[in-house]
């Protein structure tokens, strides 16, 4: 079999300039992008024979539940672990995500996503960790809806694809809106519903969504992000109306 | 007097670390949380099937005491019993806590928690959120920690690595040495206590079900600093994983909990597609050999059976090292709801749909029952004194461990869905222990001389400078693969002393080759290479603990299987006979004729073996390797007896 050819966009640091290097690794059945990068670590030599530092990337679980290894594979944002070589057109190109600051090579800094979860109170306020009895009974169909939303691994695919989300604006983005929907749905979470909605109504909030609908197409967990966005629009509109009547 | 700020440093943000942080915050401690990566991406997310807690919601007669018995028996009686008992009694409250935090546990028609069956028990006591329970539990605890973070009580330092404990001249841990993985800067943190919640060491085997961060480096570092490491040789091999070059991906036990069946074609080498092989030509070997527990025998038993079918009976699928895990008798909708997460993984990595074609699976390294030795204090009534500062403390005062990093809860073999429980139980326990310890300190950490910290910082700076200068011939990643292959071949399911002693020699060779490693990247920004070289150094030392422990333990217990020392339980043996035998020996002479033929002999062998080997293995770092001794196990509540699952 022909060796696997990988053209990789590299960058030495946040302020460095990017450059491309091409590597070749032997073909192996069931190889994925991560296993190819691991091969490069064992022999970090470019196709032209130049010895270089191994490529740097993030990964952890290698089974698409941690969200770490998100990058652009052949221009498409996805997790590199489930990117099987046999299913991809070669030569492969690997690039870091473009909507987050590059740390080094394929590593990016997605801390903005976690900050957004703080801004929106994305948690359930509990009384404490002590034995204070059962949680609320929840219909299984509500659980099923919540479960799908709760599979979000904060990978950032939806934000990479979103035309509204840029490196330097304050747009919260689909992942955050969907988490707000998740916590607002929960019987205990609903006690803080308005607080979360108010965060979503600020600058960078739900009204900035351009309705491009690409987020839902790239989500590796098939989370119905556009439904979440619609639900957030509805809830925030209701809150605005309520505020008018209460003022 | 101003109340002083009590600070705990928690290393690792998986379930144990997050639980410890939440508890510590509740007790008004301030928390420094150190993690390689955003804690939401910790390895605990890989846990799939569920979390155990006996609530008997299906009227089967389950109770925390039965859960306790199943866990102790599943672990072949090597776990300290008061701890296991306390954990099992707190399990329902822990599940309710997680439920209150918003974990989307599957529900009954009335909207209550639903439970399913798991291995090593006959009761439905596993609560679950689809087949991504670990992920859901991490997220719920991560959200609670984020709340505390936004309130300023938790300081997260993600993209940081723990290098070692700062230990003063009295041998007390006063903080930690930390490595910033972006800037490469090494610095120390002061803290009243340090908690290692750093998970397991699966990557010592190179290929396992573990995530890439699971190197065991932090626990090994503590061992190299003098902490005791216990039961290292007890490595769980999970029976069902997808074979792979970079990772062996877990296929949860919940697949069997939901009725999944293990089989191979009766005719060796039968190459027909599985659906074309009629029922009577399939060998459901677990169901046939273990009629009572069937496909839900404990993991050590299932892995040994699969091994025997493949390597002794040569009955692997089409002659290869694989067996079928079959769910095709279920409706697709049912499978998607209960097991969607793991079926997706199978589909994505093999291209086949498990609802249509049986999965091909094989055992893989999964979990370490062993870990850092930690203390506990029982309350004299078979439970744990929740307020003891000794709970979860390693043999270095002030240094704690919890979760897979400790050794206490699973004995010689862990039951499925008990790991999430032990992580959270020990996390909550250690949070309180660290708080009480902080209150009891004679000298606060802020009053310790800064020279203690500076000294440790210098040691690590010099060590890392040295590693960066390494310019030999060995590629560290290739050497790591070799280390893993060596262990996979010799220290896995079936263990033989000749192979173990030659492995120990080969480990010395690998260690000397390690000195000839080349640091391929000497830049100063976000350079993972010096870290990896340090982790490899630790992995080599940890391999010695595992291998030497396995070599010296001349018996067959739980996951540690040496055929040479199998006591050969008679086929028709009933474990109650052994209890009967023990009672009778107290007041009368027992004769062969009192028991079925061969049984008395077997029971005498069993008793003698327990007297010698029912002990905790303790490894201590001496002369560049582990010195092994043995400690008593607390078996005060349930009399150890032969295990039986058929």
Average pLDDT, chain B: 96
From chain B, pick out residues whose CB is under 8 angstroms from the CB of A41: 475, 477
How confident is the model over B61-70, as a mean pLDDT?
98
Q: Could B143 and A62 be called an inter-chain contact, meaning their C-beta atoms sit closer than 8 Å? A: no
Partners of residue A38 in chain B, C-beta under 8 Å: 246, 477
B39 contacts B158 by C-beta, under 8 angstroms: yes
Per-residue pLDDT, B444: 85
Query: Are A61 and B106 an interchain contact pair (Cβ–Cβ within 8 Å)?
Result: no
What is the average pLDDT score of chain A? 96
Chain B residue at shortest CA distance from A41: B477
Note the pLDDT of residue A90: 86
B43–A61 CB contact, under 8 Å: yes
In this prediction, residue B2 carries a pLDDT of 57
Delimit the domains of chain B by residue range. 238-366
Nearest chain B Cα to A127, which residue? B100
Name every chain A residue with its beta carbon within 8 A of the beta carbon of B180.
Answer: none
CA distance A241 to chain B (A): 29
Domains A4-108 and A111-127+135-246 share a fold: no
Q: How far apart are CA B465 and CA B256, in angstroms?
A: 50
Q: Give the number of other Cβ atoms within 10 Å of residue B617's Cβ.
A: 28
For residue B1, the model assigns a pLDDT of 47
The answer on pLDDT for A50 being more than 60 is: yes
pLDDT one-digit tens code per residue, B478-507: 999 999 999 999 999 999 999 999 999 999
Q: Does B41 touch chain A (CB under 8 A)?
A: yes
What CA–CA distances, in Å, run from B620 to A6, B195, B260, B591, B634?
Answer: 46, 20, 42, 44, 21
Q: Which residues of A touch B132 (CB under 8 A)?
A: 65, 151
Domain limits, chain A: 4-108, 111-127+135-246
Mean pLDDT, rounded, for A51-70 = 97
Q: Which residue from B minimizes the CA distance to A143?
A: B104
Neighbour tally for B518: CB within 10 Å = 14
- Interface contact flag, A138 B107, Cβ < 8 Å: yes
* Nearest chain A residue (CA) to B40: A66
The first and second tokens of residue A192, run together, are: 């803080």
Q: How many angstroms away from the CA of B141 is the closest CA of chain A?
A: 9
Residues of B in contact with A126 (CB under 8 A): 97, 100-101, 144
ipTM confidence score: 0.98
In this predicted structure, the answer to whether residue B4 has a pLDDT above a threshold of 80 is no
A111-127+135-246, what's its fold? Fumarate Reductase Iron-sulfur Protein; Chain B, domain 2 (1.10.1060)
Evaluate if residue B227 carries a pLDDT over 50. yes
Q: Does B528 touch chain A if contact means CB atoms closer than 8 Å? A: yes
* B442 pLDDT above the threshold of 90: no
Residue B542 in contact with partner chain A when CB distance is under 8 A = no
- Cβ separation B525–A32 shorter than 8 A: no
- Over residues A136-148, the mean pLDDT reads 97
Q: Does B524 touch chain A (CB under 8 A)?
A: no
- What are A73-97's pLDDT values in tens digits? 999 999 999 999 999 998 999 999 9
Rounded to 10 degrees, what is the CA torsion of B190, B193, B197, B198? 40
Q: B143, A31: Cβ pair inside 8 Å?
A: no
Q: Do the chains contact at A62 and B212, CB–CB below 8 Å?
A: yes
Identify the CATH number of the domain defined by range A4-108. 3.10.20.30
Hey, are the CB atoms on A61 and B46 less than 8 Å from each other?
Answer: yes
Spatial contact of A60 and A66, defined as CB atoms under 8 Å apart: yes
Residue of A nearest to B338 (CA): A144
Report the gap between the CA of B182 and the closest CA in chain A (Å).
8
- The whole-number pLDDT of residue B5 equals 86
Q: CA of B97: which chain A residue's CA is closest?
A: A129
User: What chain A residue is nearest to B527 in terms of C-alpha separation?
Assistant: A56
- A34 vs B102, B112, B246: nearest CB: B246
pLDDT value, residue B75: 98
- The CATH code belonging to domain B238-366 is 3.90.700.10
- A vs B, Cβ pairs < 8 A, gives 185
Q: 3-state SS string over B34-97?
A: EECCCHHHCHHHHCCCCEECCCCCCCCCCCHHHHHHHHHHHCCCCCCHHHHHHHHHHHHHHHHH
Contact list, A120 vs chain B (CB under 8 Å): none
Residues A1-8 have a mean pLDDT of 93
HSE on the CB side for B326, CA within 13 Å? 21
Interhelix angle B419-440/B133-150, rounded to 10 degrees, is 30
Q: Is B106 on the interface with A (CB under 8 A)?
A: yes
- Do B172 and B189 form a contact (C-beta atoms < 8 A)? no
Q: Which residue has the tokens 């009766």?
A: B266
Is the CB of residue B211 less than 8 Å away from at least one CB of chain A? Answer: yes
Q: CA-CA distances (angstroms) from residue B364 to A89, B30, B361?
A: 31, 39, 9
B345 touches chain A (CB under 8 A): yes
Q: Do B111 and A139 touch (CB under 8 A)?
A: yes
Residues 236-295 of B with CB under 8 A from A: 244-247, 249-250
Q: How far is A135 from chain B (nearest CA, A)?
A: 5
Q: What is the pLDDT of residues A114-125, one digit of tens each?
A: 999 999 999 999
Smallest CA–CA distance, residue B505 to chain A, in Å, is: 25
The pLDDT of residue B521 is 96
Helix ranges (H only) for A11-71 are 33-42
pLDDT at B640: 98
**What is the Cα–Cα distance from A105 to A82, expressed in whole angstroms?**
20
User: Cβ contact (<8 Å) for B99 and A139?
Assistant: no
Is the confidence at residue B253, as pLDDT, over 60? yes
Let me know the angle formed at the C-alpha of A63 by A123 and B411, rounded to the nearest 5 degrees: 80
pLDDT of residue B245: 80
Enter the DSSP assignment of B308: I
Contact call for B96 and A135, based on CB within 8 A: yes
Extract the tokens encoding A97: 């995500």
The shortest CB-CB distance from A126 to any of B93, B101, B337 is to B101
Nearest to A150 among B37, B104, B529 (CB): B104
Contacts of B105 in chain A (CB under 8 A): 143
Judge whether residue A244 has pLDDT over 70: yes
- Whether the per-residue pLDDT at B228 is higher than 50: the answer is yes
The minimum CA-CA distance between A122 and chain B, rounded to whole Å, is 7
Q: Which of A23, A29, A60 to mutate to test the interface with B (most CBs of B within 10 A)?
A: A60
- CB pair distance less than 8 Å for A137 and B112: yes
d(CA B548, CA B25): 40
Residues of B tagged active-site: 299
The answer to whether the Cβ–Cβ distance between A146 and B337 falls below 8 Å is: no
Phi, psi of B625 (to 5 degrees): -165, 175
* Interval B145-196: pLDDT, tens: 999 999 999 999 999 999 999 999 999 999 999 999 999 999 999 999 999 9
Which residue of chain B has the CA closest to A189? B102
């Amino acid at each position: 079999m022909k060796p696997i050819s990988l053209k990789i966009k590299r960058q030495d640091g946040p302020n460095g300039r990017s450059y491309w290097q091409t590597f070749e690794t032997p073909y192996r059945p069931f190889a994925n992008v991560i296993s190819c990068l691991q091969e490069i670590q064992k022999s970090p030599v470019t196709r032209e024979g130049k010895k270089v530092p191994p490529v740097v990337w993030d990964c952890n679980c290698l089974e698409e539940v941690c969200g770490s290894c998100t990058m652009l594979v052949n221009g498409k944002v996805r997790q590199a672990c489930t990117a099987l070589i046999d299913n991809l057109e070669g030569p492969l190109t690997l690039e870091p995500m473009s909507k987050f600051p590059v740390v080094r090579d394929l590593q990016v800094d997605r801390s903005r996503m976690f900050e957004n979860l703080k801004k929106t109170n994305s948690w359930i306020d509990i009384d404490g960790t002590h034995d204070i009895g059962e949680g609320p009974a929840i219909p299984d169909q509500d659980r099923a809806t919540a479960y799908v939303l709760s599979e979000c691994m904060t990978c950032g695919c939806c934000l990479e694809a979103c035309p509204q989300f840029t490196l330097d604006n304050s747009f919260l983005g689909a992942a955050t809106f969907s988490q707000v929907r998740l916590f607002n749905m929960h019987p205990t979470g609903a006690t803080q519903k308005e607080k979360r909605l108010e965060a979503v109504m600020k600058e960078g909030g739900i009204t900035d969504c351009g309705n491009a609908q690409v987020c839902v197409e790239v989500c590796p967990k098939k989370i119905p992000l556009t439904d979440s966005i619609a639900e957030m629009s509805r809830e925030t509109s209701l809150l605005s109306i309520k505020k008018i009547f209460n003022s | 007097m101003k109340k002083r700020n009590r600070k705990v440093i928690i290393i690792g943000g998986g379930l144990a670390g997050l639980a410890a942080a939440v508890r510590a915050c509740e007790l008004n401690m301030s928390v420094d949380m150190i993690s390689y990566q955003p804690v939401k991406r910790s390895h605990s997310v890989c846990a799939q099937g569920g979390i155990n807690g006996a609530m008997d919601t299906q009227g089967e007669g389950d109770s925390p005491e039965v859960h306790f018995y199943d866990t102790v028996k599943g672990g072949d009686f090597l776990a300290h019993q008061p701890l296991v008992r306390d954990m099992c009694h707190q399990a329902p409250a822990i599940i309710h806590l997680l439920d209150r935090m918003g974990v989307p546990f599957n529900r009954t028609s009335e909207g209550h928690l639903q439970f399913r069956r798991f291995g090593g028990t006959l009761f439905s006591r596993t609560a679950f959120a689809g087949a991504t329970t670990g992920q859901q539990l991490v997220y719920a605890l991560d959200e609670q920690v984020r709340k505390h973070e936004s309130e300023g009580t938790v300081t997260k330092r993600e993209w940081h690595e723990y290098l070692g404990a700062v230990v003063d001249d009295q041998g007390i841990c006063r903080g930690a040495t930390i490595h910033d993985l972006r800037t490469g800067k090494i610095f120390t943190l002061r803290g009243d206590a340090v908690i290692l919640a750093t998970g397991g060491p699966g990557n010592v085997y190179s290929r396992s079900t573990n995530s890439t961060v699971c190197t065991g480096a932090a626990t090994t570092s503590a061992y190299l600093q003098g902490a005791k490491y216990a039961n290292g040789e007890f490595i769980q091999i999970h029976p069902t994983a997808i074979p792979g070059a970079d990772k062996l991906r877990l296929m949860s036990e919940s697949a069997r909990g939901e009725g999944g069946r293990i089989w191979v074609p009766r005719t060796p080498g039968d190459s027909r597609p599985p659906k074309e092989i009629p029922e009577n030509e399939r060998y459901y070997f677990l169901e046939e050999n273990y009629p009572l527990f069937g496909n839900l025998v404990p993991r050590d038993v299932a892995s040994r059976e699969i091994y025997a079918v493949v390597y002794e009976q040569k009955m692997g699928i089409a002659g290869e090292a694989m067996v079928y895990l079959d769910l095709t008798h279920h409706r697709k909708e049912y499978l998607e709801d209960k097991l969607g997460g793991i079926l997706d993984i199978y589909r994505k990595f093999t291209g086949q749909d498990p609802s249509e074609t049986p999965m091909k699976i094989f055992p893989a390294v999964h979990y370490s029952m062993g870990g850092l030795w930690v203390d506990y204090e029982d309350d004299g009534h078979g439970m744990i004194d929740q307020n003891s500062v000794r709970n979860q403390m390693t043999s270095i005062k002030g240094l704690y461990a919890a979760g897979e990093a400790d050794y206490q809860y699973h004995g010689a073999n862990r039951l499925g869905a008990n790991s999430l429980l032990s992580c959270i139980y020990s996390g909550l326990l250690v949070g309180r222990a660290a708080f009480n310890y902080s209150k009891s300190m004679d000298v606060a950490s802020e009053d310790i001389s800064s020279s203690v910290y500076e000294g440790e910082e210098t040691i690590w700076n010099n060590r890392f400078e040295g590693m960066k200068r390494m310019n030999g011939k060995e590629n560290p990643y290739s050497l790591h693969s070799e280390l893993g292959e060596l262990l996979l071949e010799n220290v896995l399911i079936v263990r033989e002393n000749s192979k173990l002693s030659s492995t120990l020699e080969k480990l010395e060779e690998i260690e000397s080759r390690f000195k000839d490693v080349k640091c391929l990247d000497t830049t100063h920004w976000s350079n993972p290479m010096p870290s990896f070289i340090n982790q490899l150094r630790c992995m080599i030392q940890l391999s010695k603990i595992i291998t030497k422990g396995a070599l010296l333990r001349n018996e067959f217990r739980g996951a540690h299987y040496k055929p040479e020392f199998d006591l050969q339980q008679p086929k028709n043996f009933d474990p109650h006979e052994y209890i009967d035998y023990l009672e009778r020996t107290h007041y009368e002479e027992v004769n062969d004729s009192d028991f079925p033929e061969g049984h008395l002999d077997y029971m005498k062998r069993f008793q003698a073996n327990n007297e010698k080997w029912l002990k905790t293995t303790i490894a201590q770092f001496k002369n560049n390797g582990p010195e092994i001794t043995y400690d008593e196990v607390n078996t005060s509540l349930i009399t150890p007896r032969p295990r039986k699952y058929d």
